Amino acid sequence: MDLEFGNYRLKRAERLLLGPKGPVELSARSFDILAMLLERPDDVIGKTELFDAVWPGLVVEENTLQVHISALRKLLSAEMIVTVHGRGYKYAGPKPFAATAEATAPSRPSIVILPFDNMSGDPEQDYFSDGTTEDIIAELGKFKEFLVIARNSSFQFRGKANDLAEVAKRLGVQYVVEGSVRKIGNRVRIAVQLIDASSMAHIWGEHYDRELDDIFAIQDEITQMIAARLARQARTAIASRARARPTDNMSAYDFYLRALQLAATYDYDTVREAEPFLRQAVKLDPRFAAAHALLSFVETLKFFWVYYNPDLLHSGLKIARTALQLDPDEAYGHLATGFALLYLRQFRQAEISLDRAVALNPNDPFILSIRALFLNYTDRPDEALVEITEAQRRDPYAVGWYEDFRGIILTTAGRYREATACYAKMATVPRWSLVRLAVCHSELGEIKQAQDVLAKVKAHYPGLRLDEIVDAEVDFYVDPAVCSRYRAILQRVDRQE
């Protein structure tokens, strides 16, 4: 019987693995290893058992097994197969299930919306064309039927319209949307086209010349037309989703677009610049739910950088409540709520809010990333690694938080060498992850490195005891034993100085 897991299907009779883009080239031994792991997804399978099953009667070097495991991780996802040190390997991807004989390999259309060109002749208007693009990305991302590349990665390819095939290849997508925006006075002209990257065939295109007040209707029409065309390509039936007009105040919307451009970076120095624009937007239109929701996200996100001031969480919750009262389907209102409740240790309520945020926009990489942190703090690091991988698939060129979050999760999972490799990729390791990095070095027996990192941690907290520092940075786990263990490790490092 065939097995399905995530976007893959293992056809055992044909000894074939099908992925989102068709057959996956797999050696016979790798196929047998994968099949064995999928058949027993809840078990850790020892190396001896794998050798006996895959190479019966043969004497094989241990490195041979590692080579095949490495190949599988590259073909699938590194987090789908985890190493349980001293014991063997375990499957940790989406739950496999028996597929019906008639089922086909699951596949979702994947798409990137490139930043629309600003044709206004005024570079100061870039925020408007970028904001229009991002609004369309956000709306299309609400369709669960599609995998939509996020803004940070799609904007890496600004000005690459002449090489769409290469853009599609690098992002791993089937479809590309490109367009242009010209804003002159109270009129806006938008040109857009949808292209099948495999054949470079033009699937759909349209020009709009409207009053600026019609911008939301234009965005909705573009989203609906893309969705309809892709749904036809995928033979997927989807219901029409008409978006309510977010605001009647175009000045408020203009401030919102300026903030959207800044908040998308997730860098504190840039994100905080979005706040005055959002406060101006909600002042001009107190019923602008999307602006309230983004403001609540900005407010709670500051918690990361302002030494965990809980007042920011409470103020973010208050703004999020306003957003959700105005529109219960504002994904970032639920995200801010879930984020705040997580760090206030109200785990059950946080899970409800974060699950709702994902349901409303399953393609938003930051929503997926925050839920990955939630899974990490609630003793589910393997699930968290799958979630952060899903986030990175949608935004592969966003480098700001993936390695940081992945390092946190791998530390929780006890995969210290992999965690240090993540932190090594970062230009600057933030203070909350310096604590984890010191733990990793200590557990790997690298005491000098642990001491050096611990000195950097202390420099961030002059006047605080080590146990107070660890509590401030780590005490967000549902299981208090995790924080106690980190505290004991670092106190041992501290005594060895």
Same domain, 142 and 195: yes
Rounded average pLDDT over 122-132: 81
CATH number of domain containing 161: 3.40.50.10610
274-280-284 Cα angle (round to 5): 145
Which of 210-224, 358-372, 433-447 shows the highest mean pLDDT? 433-447
pLDDT at 296 over 60: yes
Asked whether residue 444 is assigned to any structural domain, the reply reads no
Query: In the prediction, which pLDDT does 240 show?
Result: 38
Which of residues 334, 361, 388 is at a domain's end? 361
Same domain, 220 and 273: no
Same domain, 180 and 217: yes
| CA neighbours closer than 13 Å in the CB half-sphere of residue 463 | 0
Same domain, 270 and 355: yes
Query: In the prediction, which pLDDT does 227 show?
Result: 64
CATH number of domain containing 31: 1.10.10.10
Same domain, 87 and 130: no
Same domain, 174 and 227: yes
Residue 246 to residue 234: CA distance in whole angstroms? 30
Which of residues 234, 259, 278 is at a domain's end? 234
Rounded average pLDDT over 26-55: 87
Q: What is the pLDDT of residues 228-252, one digit of tens each?
A: 666 544 433 333 344 556 788 888 8
At residue 161 the predicted structure's pLDDT band, cuts being 50, 70 and 90, is low
Same domain, 203 and 127: yes
Q: What is the pLDDT of residues 277-289, one digit of tens each?
A: 999 999 999 999 9
Residue 298 to residue 278: CA distance in whole angstroms? 9
Residue 154 to residue 141: CA distance in whole angstroms? 13
Query: In the prediction, which pLDDT does 160 show?
Result: 62
Instruction: Report the range of poorest mean pLDDT among 98-107, 289-298, 421-430.
Output: 98-107
Q: How far is CA 274 from CA 1, 173, 201, 326, in A?
A: 53, 31, 39, 21
Same domain, 179 and 252: no
Q: What is the pLDDT of residues 309-330, one digit of tens each?
A: 889 999 999 999 999 999 998 9
Asked whether residue 118 is assigned to any structural domain, the reply reads yes
Same domain, 221 and 267: no
CATH number of domain containing 311: 1.25.40.10
Of the chain, the percentage scoring pLDDT greater than 90 comes to 30
pLDDT at 301 over 50: yes
Same domain, 230 and 259: no
Query: In the prediction, which pLDDT does 102 show?
Result: 38
Cβ-based burial of 428 (10 A; exposed 0-12, middle 13-18, buried ≥19): exposed
Query: In the prediction, which pLDDT does 314 show?
Result: 94
Query: In the prediction, which pLDDT does 427 show?
Result: 78
Query: In the prediction, which pLDDT does 18 show?
Result: 81
CA-nearest of 284, 295, 297 to 247 is 284
Of the chain, the percentage scoring pLDDT greater than 70 comes to 89
**DSSP code of 22?**
E
Same domain, 253 and 327: yes
Which of residues 337, 361, 385 is at a domain's end? 361
Structural domain range at position 219: 110-234
Same domain, 78 and 161: no
pLDDT at 180 over 80: yes
Count of domains observed in the chain:
3
Q: What is the pLDDT of residues 451-475, one digit of tens each?
A: 999 999 889 888 888 888 888 888 8
